[in-house]
């Protein structure tokens, strides 16, 4: 397996083809839109947060396999997690992805997200994998956002 096979491994291709939690959430409490004008990637994240726990999450958008799989896998790990836990997880994920390719990294506490560790071999693609997460963080920051019924 070379770095390209790692980047486009089966799990990622599968989530790209059959994204989980794809669609809109109604009702939702938090929402944010992420856009990478450089490649046209576009992602919308919908959250239903009760207290400090993410009860439900959905996403929609268009993008490359890496960004779509990243959004899809992200939604599968969020449900039931506390906001602080999610922020912690993003921190660890981000550190791994932005580390230099030859630096040793610890992916043991990344869970399912470990499949994206290979993205760091492709610096120009790191943004693809982090866009859904940055968008999620943006949605979480909107603390004052009221429940939107759409």
Partner 1 sequence: MEKDLKALGIKVEKKKEFDVYLVRQDFPILHRTVRDKPLIYFDNAATTQKPKIVIDALVNYYTNLNSNIHRGVHYLSQAATTEYECARRIIKTFINAKHEEEIIYTRGATEAINLVAFSYGEAFLSEDDEVLISHMEHHSNIVPWQIICEKTGAKLKVIPIDDKGELILDEFDKLLSERTKIVSIVHISNSLGTINPIEYIIEKAHKVGAIVLVDGSQSIQHVPIDVQRLDCDFFVFSGHKIYGPTGIGVLYGKKDLLEKMPPYQGGGDMILSVSFEKTIYNVIPHKFEAGTPNIEGAIGLASAIRYVQNIGLDVIYDYEMELLNYATEKIKQIPEVKIIGNSKNKASLISFVVENVHPHDIGTLLDRDGIAVRTGHHCTEPVMRRFGIPATSRASFAFYNTFEEIDVFINSLKKIIVKFK
4 near partner 1, rule: CB under 8 A: yes
- Of 17, 114, 25, nearest to 68 by C-alpha is 17
C-beta atoms surrounding 104 within 10 Å: 5
Considering the complex, what minimum distance in angstroms separates the CB of residue 134 from partner 1? 17
Tokens of 139: 């949605």
- The reply on whether position 40 binds partner 1 by CB under 8 A is yes
Considering only residues 15, 31, 120, 125, which one is a binding residue for partner 1 as defined by CB under 8 A?
A: 125
Q: Is 7 in the site for partner 1 (CB under 8 A)?
A: yes
63 binds partner 1 (CB under 8 A): yes
Dist. CA 136–CA 59, nearest whole Å:
10
Write the CB contacts of 51 (distance below 8 Å, at least 6 apart in sequence).
none
Which residues face 57 on adjacent strands?
47
Residue 31 lies near partner 1 (rule: CB under 8 A) = no
Decide: is 22 part of the binding site for partner 1 (CB under 8 A).
no
Residues interacting with partner 1, by CB under 8 A? 2, 4, 7-8, 13, 16-17, 37-42, 62-66, 68, 122, 125, 128
């Amino acid at each position: 397996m070379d770095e390209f096979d790692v980047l486009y491994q089966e799990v990622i291709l599968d989530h790209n083809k059959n994204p989980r939690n794809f669609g809109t959430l109604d009702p939702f409490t938090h929402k944010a839109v992420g856009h990478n004008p450089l490649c046209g990637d576009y992602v919308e994240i919908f959250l239903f947060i009760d207290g400090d726990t993410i009860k439900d999450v959905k996403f929609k958008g268009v993008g490359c396999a890496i960004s779509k799989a990243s959004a899809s896998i992200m939604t599968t790990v969020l449900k039931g997690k506390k906001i602080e836990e999610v922020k912690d997880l993003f921190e660890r994920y981000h550190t791994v992805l932005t580390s230099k390719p030859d630096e040793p990294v610890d992916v043991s506490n990344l869970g399912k997200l470990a499949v994206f560790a290979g993205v760091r071999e492709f610096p120009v693609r790191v943004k693809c994998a982090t866009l859904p997460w940055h968008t999620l963080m943006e949605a979480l920051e909107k603390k004052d956002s009221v429940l939107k019924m759409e």
